[in-house]
Amino acid sequence: MSSHAGHGHHDTHAADIDWDVLGPLLEQEAELNGTQYEEAARWIAALPTAPKVRRVLDIGSGPGVVSCLLAEVFPEAEVVAVDATPALLERATNRARRLGVIDRFRTLEAELPSDVDRLGEADLIWAGNSLHHLGDQRAALAGFAGLLRTGGTVALVEGGLPARRLPRDIGIGEPGLEARMTAAAATRFERMRSELPGAKREIEDWAALFTAVGLVPQGTRSFLLDLPAPVPRPVREHVIASITRERDVVGDLLTAEDRAVLDRLLDPEDPEGLHHRPDVHLLAARTVHLGRRGD
């Protein structure tokens, strides 16, 4: 399993992925979402039921942006970035070194769910858009629950809202392009889920799933990313990179007209394109669900 570090619903077969391209994209996206993730971590730390956090597992850590953030919010904790992709774990290590948390940081290359027993116990397990990459989500969550120390917490980042980056009507093509891209991504996501080993359909009621595996639901909160137009250059570059990737991943599920509009949007020379439009923005929400292991 390699989660996409909070990267929402992307899936290509691992063999097709160029991590030199996707690694920086994931890192950039998680950095843009950094304030949301930090708010979420501080919410967990401030709960009256919060455990003393000595060991954190970041499941499907990707390039380690959130892992490093958790190391800062929980200054006494050892943080373990867990991912199946060595190239991303290398990015995570470099980041931890750069941010001065390397002495409490380690990486673990692991394939879930098979390697769950190698993870060791934890006071906080953060699973950022990674549970949905496992076929049997209930069994995986039960595995996480079994790693928690008494009073420990699982934080699932699942759901939220798809990013909006353009107005509904951009003046070219049929209005509603982004909504159609979201629908295509949902189709692709369902296909990805159905092809996972041991895939089981599950009602995505996370509180009910926590309860089913013996954890006590501790609440759900959503965190907003709101970067209105005009956006600074790094945000524009991120939007261009992510829409480029989405065209590659879901383009075959769109009409020829929509693909032609995407080509124009991604053409650096086109005055109507993403490189020049004044109305590019970034609006998204990430939802975090908490479950706690009782005393």
- Domains of the chain, residue spans: 14-165+198-228+285-292
d(CA 174, CA 261): 9
> Are 268 and 275 a contacting pair, CB within 8 Å?
yes
**Amino acid, single-letter form, for residue 21:** V
- Write down the CATH superfamily of domain 14-165+198-228+285-292: Vaccinia Virus protein VP39 (3.40.50.150)
Query: What are phi and psi for residue 26, nearest 5 degrees?
Result: -65, -40
Q: Is the peptide bond before 268 cis (omega within 30 degrees of 0)?
A: no
Cβ count within 10 A of residue 169? 11
> Are 61 and 93 a contacting pair, CB within 8 Å?
no
pTM of the model: 0.92
> Are 144 and 117 a contacting pair, CB within 8 Å?
no
What are residue 221's DSSP bridge partners?
Answer: 288
- Provide the pairing of β-strand 216-227 with 282-292: antiparallel
pLDDT in tens, the chain (295 residues): 444 433 343 444 445 678 777 778 788 888 888 899 999 999 999 999 887 999 999 999 999 999 999 999 999 999 999 999 999 999 999 999 999 999 999 999 999 999 999 999 999 999 999 999 999 999 999 999 999 999 999 999 999 999 999 999 999 999 999 999 999 999 999 999 999 999 999 999 999 999 999 999 999 999 999 999 999 999 999 999 999 999 999 999 999 999 999 999 999 999 999 999 999 999 999 999 999 999 7
What are residue 172's DSSP bridge partners?
Answer: none
What are residue 227's DSSP bridge partners?
Answer: 282
By residue count, the chain amounts to: 295
DSSP H helical ranges for the chain: 19-32, 34-46, 65-73, 86-98, 137-147, 177-194, 206-212, 233-250, 256-266
